[in-house]
Structure 1
Amino acid sequence: GLISFSDRDSILKGLDEIERRIEAGEFVWRTDREDVHMNIEAALTDLVGEPAKKLHTARSRNDQVLTDFRLWCRDAIDRIISSIRHLQVALVKLALNNEGLIIPGYTHLQRAQPVLLQHLLLAYVEQLDRDAGRLLDCRARLNFCPLGACALAGTGLPIDRFMTSEALGFIAPMRNSIDAVSDRDFVLEFLSANSIIAVHLSRIGEEWVLWASEEFGFITPSDSVSTGSSIMPQKKNPDPMELVRGKSARVIGDLVTLLTLCKGLPLAYNRDLQEDKEPTFDSVKTITGMLEVSAEFAQNITFNDKRIQKALPAGYLDATTLADYLVKKARYF
């Protein structure tokens, strides 16, 4: 093989020690070594000597970074889906706790027809289910291994790309080496899915902010998910959902940042792509926080049955039902 068993053992032992130092906060990162790759290789050379020079055999920073990025996105998707499921459970429990409660349904923000609160809450659950499905689709498409693509044209060395792909949990190696190091469509798809989640959460936030207002009064948030005013003692503000609504703009902005970054790049790798990490990390952190806050809010609100019942008679909410009855009696309008 390209690396002897003894050199392999030395490299692995050295990498284990470097990992320990990094996790313990003992590793010294040096800016004069350019990046993480050079820092690791230099530290490994200090630890094991000559075998460390074989670390980059048949590998480039280009395919290594893309492999790391796909692994990171894969794990991030799993975490976000878990947060989606947590919010769905909170919404289902909220629906079960308010079984049979009828509320006004709205179109154009005008009272339209009576609906079960459960039906409305489960509409959110359905939207979130499609959000999770989009993430799963994205995960399946990104789960291919770039290792072996090297800088852009692959390698003439006798490596086993299928072995490394399987060891890292990928479906298979990527078929085209230039494509493997050039495109960020998997990140664009990921951030697009996050943006749709953010829009859904923003709409939930808007609805709950309205419902918490004195004008509606349909819900009362607990003190744990409310804030007061520095000057007005009567205020009880649903700040968490206002922030969810506001932070949706940030997630959408992260997607636009990456779209703009990628739109004019020729094949294959370009240094511009170094800028893909920041919007991706921010999108994941923000959407995860939005999901967690929404779930916490859902677990800490009370529906005001008396206020809701007072709203039901106004607005001719049964007009459509009456019209349907007349149609059944051959009285068309």
Structure 2
Amino acid sequence: MAKKNTATSGKSWQGRLTADLDAATAKLVASIDVDHVLWKYDIAGSLVHARMLQRQGVLTQRELASIRKGLLAVAGELEAGTLALPIELEDIHMVIEKALIERVGSVGGKLHTGRSRNDQVALDLRLWARDAVDRLAGLVGDLQRAFLGLARCQGEVVMPAYTHLQRAQPILAGAALLAYVEMLQRDVDRLADARKRINVCPLGSGAVAGTSLPLDRQFVAAELGFDDVTRNSIDATSDRDFLAELCFACSLLGVHLSRWAEDWIIYSTTEFGAVVLHDAYCTSSSMMPQKKNADTLELIRGKSATAIAQLTGLLTLLKGLPLAYNRDLQDDKRLTFACVDAVEQALGVACGIVSTARFNEPRIAATLEGGFLDATSLAEYITARGLPFRQAHHVVGRLVAQAEKQGKTLAELDLPTLRAACEQIGSDVYDYLGAANVVGRYRTEGAAGPEQLKRQMAFWEKKLG
């Protein structure tokens, strides 16, 4: 039950209302359990805001020095974990402000001049999101280099490619590894693009309509490394598109990690045996002593679900909000932080998995000719000798069925059998059959053959360093 306000709660808005919040309500409106991670950004923004206020004549030099000293002292206690974070203060902004006033006196109350928690939290979130993008891009780059390193070592291994999880055509392992690098580069590009819209400064927008005080928004933006200031104060205080974009970039990155994890979970099974994972990234069973489980890959696959769920939650949170700021936005941090954390955790392990894994070349080679990986090559061989591709497709389909009944590969069928199916087939056909021969004949740019792999490797070596 609410109690009469004794004006001792330390809330920034306590002058208007006549009752304190009860315990349940205080817990509901508090976000300090989540937004405390923003303290460095809040301090950084406050230091620049104070300098701007002094430049504009709102603060004296002495007041600025006092506020700066106080903020640095508060920052030291937050860094050390010794500053109390009482729930009744609701959020990190008020914790810092109250701690500042306790240390420097009433002059600390001048820091909030021309500022609202609405534009203050928008600033902190943009600073945090900018750093998150940079961290993620760095981790993705590390993973790309890990894939590139494995391609450098075992990229020329010939292996099957799959469509519908059925054997399709032969490829070089390096081409498959660089496919993941390509996916990840799109993630890096998306993060970089999102960063452009993150990197605009909302401070000075106030609660919703700006302020009558002579604030220098451009100075604050430049000092904090922003490219520009937001154009519209109403939008600036309620915009969370930049968080939604970040969460989408993380979610799609998570999907790419999940696809890779799924591939390698399958490839590392006894049935496939194509990839060998280091013991450091596997677990065993509490009951079955023989087990070597790819649990880290499974958890990475699971983290993508967390990221997607948080994105869905954030979009749902935003969809019904009228202009401008609404308290629903308090939960944007819970969703966004969880999304970024999930993907960062996955990336932190993924690099080690790739760096220590190897392809099981003998096992791959032992089963390579199964599944008629050279069927498409045979159809193209026939097409190059004048038969329309659709007819060649049918010819090879019948030959595959015949070879399958006889327990043979296409290369094991004798020439009379092949010529009986299609008179255009000559004795040179055997140079086109077999997985290794097929891979060596790929011609198109970007294909999964040795010449294309060399060019792709050179590109990524230069780009990734």
Please tell me the TM-score bracket, short chain as reference: over 0.9
Question: Is the counterpart of residue 177 in structure 1 residue 233 in structure 2?
Answer: yes
Q: Distance in 2 between matches of 1:233 and 1:165?
A: 59
* Bigger shift: residues 265-274 or 49-58: 49-58
Aligned match of 1:131: 187
Alignment deviations for residues 126-183 of structure 1 (CA, whole Å, 9 cap, x no partner): 0000000000000011100000000000011111000001000001110000010112
Aligned twin of 2:86: 30
Q: How many residues align?
A: 333
Match of 1:284 in 2: 340
Q: 2:150 touches 2:358 (CA, 8 Å); kept in 1? A: no
SS in 2 for 1:331: coil
Instruction: Name the structure, 1 or 2, with higher relative contact order (CA <8 Å, separation 6+).
Output: 1
Q: Which residue of 2 aligns with 1:9?
A: 65
Offset, 1:22: 1.6
Question: Residues of 2 paired with 1:36 and 1:294: CA distance?
Answer: 33
Q: Secondary structure at the match of 1:112?
A: strand
Are the aligned partners of 2:314 and 2:335 in contact in 1 as well (CA < 8 Å)? yes
Partner of 1:271: 327
Alignment of 1:218-257 (within 5 A): 218-257=274-313
The question of whether the paired residues in 2 share the 8 Å contact of 1:202 and 1:245 is answered with: yes
Q: Return the letter of the residue paired with 1:96.
A: R
CA contact (8 A) 2:155 2:175 kept: no
Normalising by structure 2, what TM-score?
0.70
Secondary structure of the residue that 1:49 maps to in structure 2? helix
Task: Map 1:49-88; keep pairs closer than 5 Å.
Answer: 49-88=105-144
Q: Quick one: which amino acid aligns to residue 247 of structure 1?
A: K
Matched position secondary structure for 1:29: coil
Report the CA distance between 1:33 and its aligned residue: 3.1
Q: Could you tell me how far apart the structure 2 residues matched to 1:315 and 1:249 are?
A: 34
Query: What aligned pairs does 1:106-121 form with structure 2 within 5 A after superposition?
Result: 106-121=162-177
One-letter identity of the residue aligned with 1:218: A
Supply the RMSD in Å over aligned alpha carbons.
Answer: 1.1
Unaligned runs of 5+ in 1: none
Alpha carbons 1:221, 1:301 under 8 Å: kept = yes
Give distance in 2, aligned partners of 1:103 and 1:33: 61
Task: Quote the Cα distance in structure 1 between the aligned partners of 2:372 and 2:87.
Answer: 70
Shift of 1:205: 0.5
Structure 1 stretch displaced more, 310-319 or 144-153:
310-319
Q: Give the letter for the 1:54 counterpart.
A: K
- SS of the residue corresponding to residue 111 of structure 1 reads strand
Give the Cα–Cα distance (whole angstroms) in 2 for the partners of residues 136 and 37 of structure 1: 29
Q: Residue 113 of structure 1: SS of its match in structure 2?
A: strand
In 2, Cα distance between the equivalents of 1:210 and 1:31? Answer: 48
1:167 and 2:214 matched? no
CA contact (8 A) 2:314 2:332 kept: yes
Question: Matches of 1:256 and 1:34 in 2, distance apart?
Answer: 26
Answer whether contact 2:303 2:342 (CA < 8 A) is retained.
yes
Residues 176 and 25 of structure 1: CA distance in aligned 2, closer, same or farther (over 3 Å)? same
Secondary structure at 2:276 match in 1: strand
Give the CA deviation at 1:43: 2.2
Partner Cα separation in structure 1 for residue 82 and residue 284 of structure 2:
44
1:32 to 1:246, Cα distance in 2 relative to 1, 3 A: closer
Tell me whether 1:214 sits opposite 2:270 in the alignment. Answer: yes
With normalisation by structure 1, the TM-score equals 0.97
Give the 3 Å change call, closer, same or farther, for CA 261–106 of structure 1 in structure 2: same
